[in-house]
Amino acid sequence: MRLIILGGPGAGKGTQAELLCQYLQIPLISIGNILREAIATQTTLGQVAQAYVEKGDLVPDRTMIEFVRQRLLESDVTQGWLMDGYPRTAFQAEELHFLLDDLGQKLDWAIYLKVSEEESMNRCLKRGRTDDNPEIVQRRVDLFYERTIPILEYYQYRQKLLTIDGGKTVTQVQQEILQKLNSQ
């Protein structure tokens, strides 16, 4: 199975991604981790990305899709994967579609953990990360809604979107995801 997980800050993507990967026995492709590792080891792509990351800018789409391409060519993901942290725009969703086509793969589902803006803010502020102050969290929430609605429309149109109520308990959310995956 090939899946992507979407959701705003504090939606529980990381938790659900880990649980799903264990359950389905597929690797997690964390784009954030790949980016950090490439920068730390100073790969060619890592050096390109670092210049943007240091300025607080988004890494350009062309560079991001190349990271994704390289990861999808590795042998551990031939039987399936769950991607977290990509795509972040409708353009990237389309680029991913073309890339998967090139690789002879197809996305099964985009799983959207839907959480209210208020819940998203509360969860982020409670987890106490250093970058989780109210102004920064509000900016991340605003950016998420601004960029993600077009992605949801992209996958909805292609009948690849599973919307999950992310406001429930971890176990309830996991059960809803598995129930929807199994009933499709």
How would DSSP label each residue in 62-113?
A: HHHHHHHHHHHTSGGGTT-EEEES---SHHHHHHHHHHHHHTT----EEEEE
pLDDT band at 28 (very low <50, low <70, confident <90, very high): very high
* Strand 28-30 to 2-7 pairing: unpaired
For residue 11, what pLDDT is reported? Answer: 92
* Strand 109-114 to 161-165 pairing: parallel
For residue 22, what pLDDT is reported? Answer: 96
Whether the predicted model's global pTM rises above the 0.85 cut: yes
